[in-house]
Amino acid sequence: MSCFILFGCGANSNLGTNEEKPVEITKISSTKKGTNQDLANQAKDYLSNKQNITSVNAVNTSKKLVIAVEVPHHERFQLAKTRKDLQDELKKKFSKVEVELSTDQKIVLELKKLEEKLQKGSMKKKDLEKEVDDIISLSKEQT
Amino acid sequence: MADKKKKNVPPSAQQYQSFQDKREVKRPIVKNCIKAFFVGGFICFIGQLISTFYIHFFNFTEQTVGNPTIATLIFITMLLTGFGVYDRIGQFSGAGSAVPVTGFGNAVISAAIEHRTEGFVLGVGGNMFKLAGSVILFGVFSAFVVALIKTILIQWGGL
């Protein structure tokens, strides 16, 4: 039993050193007019400078910006507060568009897929809008 | 409390009681706790795997994945109870297999199996929630009390 406790303590004390790990982001360089991802890239830059965020995925249309962030596992206790604070901050920063921030694993996965599609350049404006709307409605789903 | 009870029993019974206390095999509480901890943890680990599966391959978010996960766990428990495996797990790990939702499933399903011979309406239907009924009743009641306390704290306590 004591072994477990010792290992547990050891793991905790290492947490401080991991903070300098780079944040996972992939910027999308979509040159098409309808699927321009400048806003999403700005949001990624802004969030990746923050502490306690391990990865950021974001996609935007002309009216909506949807972002998914991941936090380190031990920070998940304050997940609701972190989400609210970030959402408020980003709403102020990007006041021209509708900002939707999520910490949900499913939204992270969906945004990653969408980013890959955008990176390939095979996306039309209408498809992008539909996909973003679907993701936003998925993130608002309750039990 | 225990001393008060002892005064009322005759001396021969007291003697027997102390004799029995010496001979009785002690319950290995720490060992049982460790068993319950690991088996209960393992059941939750399987639950987590199922949730991750549903999140990755179906349209469920972390918010909504709880329902299909519970349904799947109860379905697995139904099979294990029917084949008599869950009883053995329960004997080995005690609370470790009773506290997760699988324990609730086991309570419903084993009662249904037990009363099968009495017919479907008065047997299975009437007795299915014999044990699980109290879980539902006290679960709902404690949820009500907690909601009441929370409402009072938010409305008057300004939390």
Q: Name the residue with higher pLDDT: A97 or B3.
A: A97
Consecutive 10-residue averages of pLDDT for chain A (143 residues): 44 46 73 77 88 89 91 90 91 90 93 89 86 91 77
Same-domain status, B49 and B62: yes
Residue B26 in domain = no
Residue B7 in domain = no
How many alpha carbons lie under 13 Å from residue A7 in its C-beta half-sphere? 4
Same-domain status, B117 and B69: yes
* 3-state secondary structure (DSSP) of residue A70: strand
Contact B62 A104 (CB under 8 A): yes
Nearest by CB to A139, which of B56, B61, B65?
B61
Chain B residues with beta carbon closer than 8 angstroms to that of A105 = 55, 61-62
Contact A109 B55 (CB under 8 A): yes
Residue B12 in domain = no
Residue B3 in domain = no
Total domain count, chain B: 2
Same-domain status, B69 and B90: yes
Residue B16 in domain = no
- Tell me the mean pLDDT in the region B12-30: 91
Same-domain status, B122 and B68: yes
CA dihedral A39, A41, A43, A47 (to 10 degrees): 180
* 3-state secondary structure (DSSP) of residue A95: coil
Predicted TM-score (pTM) above 0.95: no
The percentage of chain B sitting over the pLDDT mark of 70, rounded to a whole number, equals 94
- Can you read off the two tokens belonging to residue B98? 């009773």
Indicate the DSSP class of residue A64.
Answer: E
Residues 6+ apart with CB under 8 A from A38: A60
Nearest by CB to B55, which of A106, A139, A142?
A106
Beta bridge partners of B120: none
Query: How far is the C-alpha of A67 from the C-alpha of A102, rounded, in Å?
Result: 6
Q: What is the mean pLDDT of chain B?
A: 91
Same-domain status, B136 and B123: no
Contact call for residues B74 and B46 (beta carbons, < 8 A):
no
Residue B100 in domain = yes
Same-domain status, B113 and B149: no
Residue B14 in domain = no
Same-domain status, B144 and B103: no
Query: How far is the C-alpha of B75 from the C-alpha of B69, rounded, in Å?
Result: 10
Residue B20 in domain = no
Query: How far is the C-alpha of B14 from the C-alpha of B1, rounded, in Å?
Result: 15
Same-domain status, B83 and B100: yes
Query: How far is the C-alpha of B43 from the C-alpha of B95, rounded, in Å?
Result: 12
Number of CB pairs < 8 Å for A and B? 28
Same-domain status, B50 and B123: yes
Rounded to the nearest angstrom, the minimum Cα separation between B100 and chain A is: 20
Query: How far is the C-alpha of A134 from the C-alpha of B60, rounded, in Å?
Result: 13
Same-domain status, B147 and B119: no
pLDDT at residue B145 is higher than 80: yes
Domain region containing B138: 132-159
Same-domain status, B56 and B114: yes
Contact A138 B59 (CB under 8 A): yes
Same-domain status, B88 and B158: no
